[in-house]
Amino acid sequence: MLMHFQFKPLFENKNIPGWNFSFYHNKKRYTGLYHQSGKIEWTANTPEQKDIESLISQIHELMLYHVYE
């Protein structure tokens, strides 16, 4: 489960898509870039292979809810 999920636009012009995000999972902080296409680039601490699919799914859901309401 993701804890303390946060995101902010990559660009000052908020009409340009792209976001920085961060969250905690199993007491470890992860950060990345979320692109308009849904592609995720990990910028710090790539999750373990066994967790990555679940985390990506949760990130997509949160971004859809918060950004594309």
| H or E segment to which residue 3 belongs | strand 3-9
Higher pLDDT, 52 or 15: 52
The pLDDT value recorded for residue 36 is 87
Contact in structure between 29 and 13 (CB atoms under 8 Å): no
Q: Residue 65: CB partners within 8 Å, gap ≥ 6?
A: none
Higher pLDDT, 6 or 17: 6
Instruction: Give the mean pLDDT of 32-57.
Output: 94
The pLDDT value recorded for residue 43 is 95
Instruction: Give the mean pLDDT of 44-67.
Output: 93
Burial of 21 (0-12, 13-18, 19+ CB in 10 A): buried
Residue 53 confidence (pLDDT) above 80: yes
Contact in structure between 59 and 34 (CB atoms under 8 Å): yes
pTM of the model: 0.87
